[in-house]
Chains A and B, each alone.
Chain A
Amino acid sequence: MTGLTHLTMAAALDGLAKKEFTAVELTEAHVKAVETIRPLNAFITETPEQALAMAKASDARRAKGEAGPMEGLPIAVKDLFCTKGVLTTAASHILDGFKPEYESTVTSNLWRDGAVMLGKVNLDEFAMGSANITSHHGNVISPWSPGEVGNWSRQIVPGGSSGGSAAAVAARAALGATGTDTGGSIRQPAAFTGIVGIKPTYGRCSRWGVVAFASSLDQAGPMTRTVEDAAIMLRSMCGFDPKDSTSVDMAVPDFRAALTGDIRGLKVGIPKEYRVEGMPAEIAAIWDQGIEWLKQAGAEPVEISLPHTKYALATYYIVAPAEASSNLARYDGLRYGLRVEGASLKDMYENTRGAGFGKEVRRRILIGTYVLSAGYYDAYYNKARQVRTRIKWDFDEAFKQCDVILTPTAPSTAFAIGEKMDDPIQMYLNDVFTVPASLAGLPGMSVPAGVGSDGLPLGLQLLGRPFDEETVLRVGQVIEKAAAVTATPPFMA
């Protein structure tokens, strides 16, 4: 029953409710699909036995009339979420063999609501990257890569850091996947692979049990094939958690109910600073097309200004490494994962961390250590935190004039492995449109909007007021329907 892996979550829930198939059948089809897409290297750990056991339990719950909001839906979990008894690597050598003794709050919420775990998916090491090329467990290949499977003419990147999540969902091996977004790690890979990805407002999803990168920015969210599915999965992931001091104690709305399609009179902000110099014509064109779609649906575009946009990346590349250097101090060769012996305790630390961290992670820890060091703290770290305040103020001002903001998600379509690799700054520029909202803690979503001249997906990004995911989702679905993208990846399970 291969058709089962091509369903949306909403359709799968319907089929399960109508007893057209069971959770076990749905899961078996996906377990097979996970095997089929192995050439993409999307999964670090497959958990077929656990998946089938969870599916069986799900069918039993449904039979008793206790079906949850995601009952029986097979999903993939980014390997940054701690899963009890299941290898959790953060795609780093330094976490070799780490099997958490606890379950992250977000995944607990998903299992509580009936979801089924297919396995743990690949990512950039410690979620640091925009192409899924920094994983200790190898690159992830996008299912959009042209040519013969395994012998592609161009190996296209799925984006990052949630590249395994994006590839698995786009290739129809999972109905959805968890992602995490620190500077764009949900939205950019969603755009690169033609799927939907939403990063909710900072504080909506608990960070407890998620391997930390930059704690003031990290936020989990769903990656799915439709906006409706994103609404279904986001609702299950969110919720107040006393174990995360930045978790917000607010009711979680029924996001699906917000998808009314009615955006008449809504003011859509178009930030003039996002028309960056050298923006490819097709990115500018899809953005204009998005504005047109929303206008046709009765919304009103308004030009807004976010004057500090050009400083967002520089701010991010101080704040995020600073927090990372502090968070990653815990990898000491004593408590978990890799240990490389040395003559003294200090040697053991240095050997373990020297061998355990990849080049990008090392680069960021060193930058972070430098900007936090005596004599540079004010000039770099405090300065960046002040600019961050100004970036937040820009958005506060803008949202006095508009209800939602529309921008492209990424400055280009996906590139191939080997391109943009030499210069870290070039790689960082992938996140130019996603980073500002991360710094301001705002909800942001990427929606598939079309296909570029190279045959690869293009995404549009919607940003909302804090805790107004509902407007973001509602407008996103209007774009999704207007765009009606029918292109699918050449390689699917």
Chain B
Amino acid sequence: MSLDKATVAKIAHLARIKVPDDELDHLAGELSQILTFVEQLGEVDTQDVPPMTSVAAQTLRRRKDEVTDGGYRDAVLSNGPETAEGFYVVPKVVE
């Protein structure tokens, strides 16, 4: 599989990572190389093989739906780069 520049730009946008234009060609080359490498999996017969979801052979534990902890607003916000009056501050999203 060979990725072109436009596809890499699209993936980068989906991943919300700004990639400078002059790096797209090089990145497309690297990503294509990795995708070519992983394509060898096509050789493996996986007919009727269940996809692995977890190596731990266990079902997820259930717990009671109840509040056991909380009230840490300031602690939660303490690492925010920009906060005000108990909220995270984001760029304007509505016109």
Contact = CB atoms under 8 A, between A and B. Distances in A.
Residues of B contacting A: mostly: loop
B50 A389 contact: yes
A380 B12 contact: no
Contacts of B51: 382, 385-386, 388-389
A209 interface: no
A66 B22 CA distance: 62
Contacts of A345: 90-93
Interface residues of B, number: 52
A144 to B, nearest CB: 30
A341 B82 CA distance: 11
B67 interface: no
Contacts of A355: 18
A354 interface: yes
Nearest to B42: A383
Contact of B80 (A336, A343, A388): A336
A335 B60 CA distance: 28
A317 B34 contact: yes
A425 B33 contact: yes
Given A249-B61, A333-B81, 8 more contacts: A248-B58, A311-B43, A314-B37, A318-B41, A345-B91, A370-B35, A373-B11, A425-B33
Interface of A: 97-101, 202-203, 216, 242, 245-246, 248-249, 308, 310-311, 313-315, 317-318, 325, 329, 332-339, 341-351, 353-355, 357, 362-363, 365-367, 369-370, 373, 380, 382-390, 392, 423-425, 439-441
Contacts of A333: 81
The list of the 4 closest CB pairs from A to B, nearest first, reads A441-B55, A354-B18, A385-B51, A386-B46
A390 B27 contact: no
B44 to A, nearest CB: 5
Contact of B49 (A313, A366, A390): A390
19 contacts: A101-B79, A216-B55, A245-B60, A245-B61, A248-B56, A314-B37, A345-B91, A347-B91, A349-B16, A353-B16, A357-B17, A363-B31, A367-B31, A370-B11, A388-B52, A389-B49, A392-B55, A424-B34, A441-B56
B27 A363 contact: yes
A126 to B, nearest CB: 14
Given A202-B56, A366-B11, A383-B42, A424 B16 contact: no
Contact of B31 (A315, A342, A370): A370
A343 B80 CA distance: 19
B84 interface: no
B38 A314 contact: yes
B44 A365 contact: no
B76 A380 contact: no
Contact of A317 (B37, B50, B90, B93): B37
B61 A339 contact: no
A385 B51 CA distance: 5
Among B12, B16, B18, B90, find the residue whose CB has the most chain A CB atoms closer than 10 A.
Answer: B16
A101 B58 CA distance: 31
B64 to A, nearest CB: 12
A203 to B, nearest CB: 5
A97 B82 CA distance: 13
Contacts of B60: 245
Contacts of A347: 91
Given A202-B55, A367-B34, A353 B41 contact: no
Contacts of A424: 30, 33-34
A101 B34 contact: no
B81 A386 contact: no
Nearest to B38: A314
Contact of B75 (A101, A341, A342): A101
B92 to A, nearest CB: 8
B30 to A, nearest CB: 6
A370 B56 CA distance: 27
A246 B14 contact: no
